[in-house]
Amino acid sequence: MKEGDLAYYAPWGNLAIFVEDGTGNYTGDLMRLGAVDTGLPALQRPGPLQVRIERMTD
């Protein structure tokens, strides 16, 4: 996974946003769903943050 990727981890039902490039070996249980278009610097700061994720339409 790379910085900005949005992924779903199936075994636990977790949604993840990668704030930096990953260096690990990922299993097939981690599925890339898309990527963050804007606002990634806000996610890279420590502390709570309220976000809204919307599906884009064509």
The gap between the terminal CA atoms of the chain, to the nearest Å, is 25
Tokens 């610097």 map to which residue? 41
Instruction: Summarize pLDDT for 44-55 with one digit per residue, the tens.
Output: 899 998 888 787
Instruction: Summarize pLDDT for 1-31 with one digit per residue, the tens.
Output: 899 999 999 999 999 888 888 777 777 889 9
pLDDT of residue 40: 87
Give 21's contacts (C-beta < 8 A, 6+ positions apart): 1, 2, 3
pLDDT of residue 14: 92
pLDDT of residue 7: 92
Check pLDDT > 80 for residue 58: no
Torsion angle, alpha carbons of 30, 24, 15, 47, to 10: 180
